[in-house]
Amino acid sequence: MKTKYLIIGAGISGLTFASYCKENYLIIEKDSEVGGYCKTHYNKDYVWDYAGHFFHFKTDEFKKKFIDSLDKNDFVTQDKKTFIYFDDKLVDFPFQTHIHELSKDKFIDCLYDLFNKEEKENYDNFLDMLYGKFGKSITEMFLKPYNEKLYAVDLTKLDKDAMGRFFPYADIKAIIDNMKQNKVNSYNNTFMYPKKGAQVIIDVLMKDIDENKILLNSVIQSINLEDKKVILTDGTEIYYEYLINSMPFDKFLKLTNNKEYIDFSNELTYNKVLVFNLGFNKKSKYNDHHWLYFPDKNINFYRVGFYDNILGADKLSMYIEIGYPKGTVITDEDINRQLSLTLDNLKKCGIIDDTFSLVAYESIVMDPAYVHIDAQNDLKVRKIMKDLANKNVYSVGRYGAWTYCSMEDCMVEAKELSEKI
CATH of the domain at 324: 3.90.660.10
Pair (264, 301) in one structural domain: no
- 71 contact partners, CB below 8 Å, separation of at least 6: none
Report the number of secondary-structure helices (H) and strands (E) in the chain. 14, 18
DSSP for 217-260, written as a single string: T--EEEEETTTTEEEETTS-EEEEEEEEE-S-HHHHHHTBS-HH
Q: What is the pTM of this model?
A: 0.94
pLDDT over 80 (residue 179) = no
Average pLDDT estimate for 262-267 = 96
pLDDT over 60 (residue 357) = yes
pLDDT greater at residue 145 or residue 180 = 145
Q: With contact defined as beta carbons under 8 Å apart, do 92 and 86 qualify?
A: no
In angstroms, the CA 391 to CA 141 distance is 48
Residue 358: count other Cβ atoms within 10 Å of its Cβ: 14
Pair (289, 353) in one structural domain: yes
Q: Answer whether residue 35 is part of any domain.
A: yes
Pair (11, 160) in one structural domain: no
- 188 contact partners, CB below 8 Å, separation of at least 6: 54, 56, 80
**Domain range holding 392?**
2-40+58-71+196-269+372-420
pLDDT over 80 (residue 79) = yes
User: Which helix (H) or strand (E) is 147 found in, with range?
Assistant: helix 144-151
Q: With contact defined as beta carbons under 8 Å apart, do 421 and 22 qualify?
A: no
Give the model's pLDDT for residue 162.
81
Q: What is the mean pLDDT of the chain?
A: 92
Q: Answer whether residue 50 is part of any domain.
A: no
Average pLDDT estimate for 375-402 = 96
Pair (263, 278) in one structural domain: no
pLDDT greater at residue 44 or residue 280 = 280
Q: Answer whether residue 83 is part of any domain.
A: no
pLDDT over 80 (residue 163) = no
CATH of the domain at 63: 3.50.50.60
pLDDT over 70 (residue 175) = yes
Q: With contact defined as beta carbons under 8 Å apart, do 275 and 335 qualify?
A: no
